[in-house]
Amino acid sequence: MLEIQELTQPLITTLTRPTWAEIDLGATAYNVKRIKEIVGPRVEVMAVVKAEAYGHGALGVAHTALASGATWLGVAELNEAIALRQAGIAAPILILAWAPGWLARQAIQHDAACTVFDIDTAGMFSRAAQEIGRAARIHVKINTGLNRLGLMPDAAASAIEQMNAMEGLYLEGIFTHFARSDETNRAPTRVQLERFRQVLSDVEARGIRIPIRHAANSPSILNYPESHFEMVRPGILLHGLDPSKEVPAPGDFKPVMALKTIVAQVQTLPPKSPISYGGTYVTEGYERIAVLPIGYADGFRRGPNPWGEVLVRGQRAPIVGRVCMDQCMINVTHIPGVKQGDEVVLIGEQAGNRIRAEDVAHRLGTSNYETVSALTARIPRFFIHEGHEESRRNS
């Protein structure tokens, strides 16, 4: 682990704002290789890098995942696919969410496979493919119980047969998504799996072969090997984070993100001094209050529940007063010597003490998925890989 000065001094002189996220791509590579070990050599891995790879930086994570054994990338929308293509990524990409038919031409031109779950949209993709003279790659989604997007199981085989007859369509994949595979109760996921298998059987009975079947997200990669089929779709597991409290990541998986900032000012305030907007916190005695240059516009939530605490000089310091748009305050009365320029850890480790994304999520009353994904683009991502540091902006 690098010393604070060795790591932060270059950042202080190169970043336009002294708040940043360190993304350990070495940890990403390790996690992807472990996922490959879990699913075995015959199962492909789609690294889900939607929403800037859950706030970790889509391009860096995508390049690393592909170099470490992943063969596909998953995104939520066409703009994300286009950004990857423009960055020179040639690997197969699937748009996992709704791809409206009016985007068919652009999707085909950028060689992005699209999720389809209705005949009308399939027809729009078919017409666009014939006009362009290139096949439209589609993955048909089946609603087996999440009750979000997808064909209902009893109508799926007939609809797929119609799609299969359309000119210009290549039915590359068929998939579903689990609602409760991150729970210890296995019954709901087993019901979804059975429904999916029945659809697969119905489709095969009509003489239709769809080459890629996929269902497994991060928790089902760990707990449901029967759901692996030809491909799995890890998301949160790529980043060494727990799919849920009930289904934690294996102990050797490595957290990828550390979120840090720097003390901007330290003041000793007298008793009965109100802190921040609304004066919701008032000092009881003489207290040393440090200001940090991070706020709710960075995804450092103000309410209803705040982040809770941070690490300074290896000790925990509570946030006091309301979090502002760009700044917040912490109480460092109990921590000797805190001064301007000291590194502050919001997620990560410092001097043997650690704050996990899961710890923060628990205080916020949300999930670790939201905690890291909500960090906004104005926080620079500082990629680290095998001892080399590279500063990049998410874009």
Is the pLDDT at 159 greater than 80, yes or no?
yes
Domain count, the chain: 2
- Provide the pLDDT for residue 16: 77
Whether residues 266 and 335 fall in one domain: yes
Whether residues 161 and 283 fall in one domain: no
% the chain with pLDDT above 90 = 91
Amino acid at position 131, single letter: E
Is the pLDDT at 5 greater than 60, yes or no?
no
Residue 365 domain-assigned (yes or no):
yes
Do the beta carbons of residue 302 and residue 296 sit within 8 Å? yes
Higher pLDDT, 13 or 135: 135
Is the pLDDT at 389 greater than 80, yes or no?
no
Residue 209 domain-assigned (yes or no):
yes
Whether residues 76 and 116 fall in one domain: yes
Residue range 62-82: mean pLDDT, rounded: 98
Per-residue pLDDT tens over the stretch 110-155: 999 999 999 999 999 999 999 999 999 999 999 999 999 999 999 9
Residue range 81-102: mean pLDDT, rounded: 97
Whether residues 59 and 120 fall in one domain: yes
Whether residues 219 and 354 fall in one domain: no
Q: Which two tokens stand for residue 168?
A: 């210009």
Per-residue pLDDT tens over the stretch 200-256: 999 999 999 999 999 999 999 999 999 999 999 999 999 999 999 999 999 999 999
Higher pLDDT, 4 or 230: 230
> Residue 359: which of 350, 370, 349, 368 has the closest Cα?
368
Is the pLDDT at 2 greater than 60, yes or no?
no
Per-residue pLDDT tens over the stretch 310-340: 999 999 999 999 999 999 999 999 999 999 9
Residue 19 domain-assigned (yes or no):
no
Q: What is the 3-state secondary structure (H, E, C) of the chain?
A: CCCHHHHHHHHHHHCCCCEEEEEEHHHHHHHHHHHHHHHCCCCEEEEECHHHHHHCCHHHHHHHHHHCCCCEEEECCHHHHHHHHHCCCCCCEEEEEECCHHHHHHHHHCCEEEEECCHHHHHHHHHHHHHHCCCEEEEEEECCCCCCCCECHHHHHHHHHHHHCCCCEEEEEEECCCCCCCCCCCHHHHHHHHHHHHHHHHHHHCCCCCCEEEEECHHHHHHCHHHCCCEECCCHHHHCCCCCCCCCCCCCCCCCEEEEEECCEEEEECCCCEECHHHCEECCCCEEEEEECCCHHHCCCCCCCCCCEEEECCEEEEEECCCCCCCEEEECCCCCCCCCCCEEEEEEEECCEEECHHHHHHHHCCCHHHHHHCCCCCCCEEEEECCEEEEECCC
Residue range 162-171: mean pLDDT, rounded: 98
Catalytic annotation present for 224 = no
pLDDT band at 17 (very low <50, low <70, confident <90, very high): confident
* Residue 364 structural domain: 257-379
Whether residues 269 and 213 fall in one domain: no
- Of the listed 36, 50, 141, 260, which one is catalytic? 50
Whether residues 220 and 262 fall in one domain: no
Whether residues 224 and 367 fall in one domain: no
pLDDT band at 12 (very low <50, low <70, confident <90, very high): low
Whether residues 132 and 47 fall in one domain: yes
Whether residues 77 and 139 fall in one domain: yes
- Of the listed 54, 245, 272, 277, which one is catalytic? 277
Residues 388 and 383: their CA atoms lie apart, in Å, by 8
Residue 352 domain-assigned (yes or no):
yes
Residue range 354-374: mean pLDDT, rounded: 96
- Provide the pLDDT for residue 10: 55
Residues 265 and 246: their CA atoms lie apart, in Å, by 41
Per-residue pLDDT tens over the stretch 32-49: 999 999 999 999 999 999
- Round the CA-based radius of gyration of the chain to a whole number and report it: 24
Residue range 373-378: mean pLDDT, rounded: 94
Residue 251 domain-assigned (yes or no):
no
Q: Which two tokens stand for residue 295?
A: 């706020």
Catalytic annotation present for 50 = yes
Whether residues 154 and 207 fall in one domain: yes
- Provide the pLDDT for residue 1: 23
Do the beta carbons of residue 91 and residue 71 sit within 8 Å? yes
Dihedrals phi, psi of 389, to nearest 5 degrees: -110, 140
> Residue 127: which of 185, 169, 183, 66 has the closest Cα?
169
Residue 73 domain-assigned (yes or no):
yes
Close Cβ partners of 182 (under 8 Å, ≥ 6 residues apart)? 218, 219, 243, 244, 246, 247
Average pLDDT, the chain: 93
Residue 156 domain-assigned (yes or no):
yes
Length of the chain: 395
Whether residues 110 and 193 fall in one domain: yes
Do the beta carbons of residue 42 and residue 69 sit within 8 Å? no
Flag the least confident range among 111-125, 266-280, 371-385: 371-385
Residues 252 and 24: their CA atoms lie apart, in Å, by 15
Residue 308 domain-assigned (yes or no):
yes
Residue range 11-20: mean pLDDT, rounded: 75
Dihedrals phi, psi of 387, to nearest 5 degrees: 85, 0
CATH code (residue 75): 3.20.20.10
Is the pLDDT at 354 greater than 80, yes or no?
yes
- Provide the pLDDT for residue 303: 86
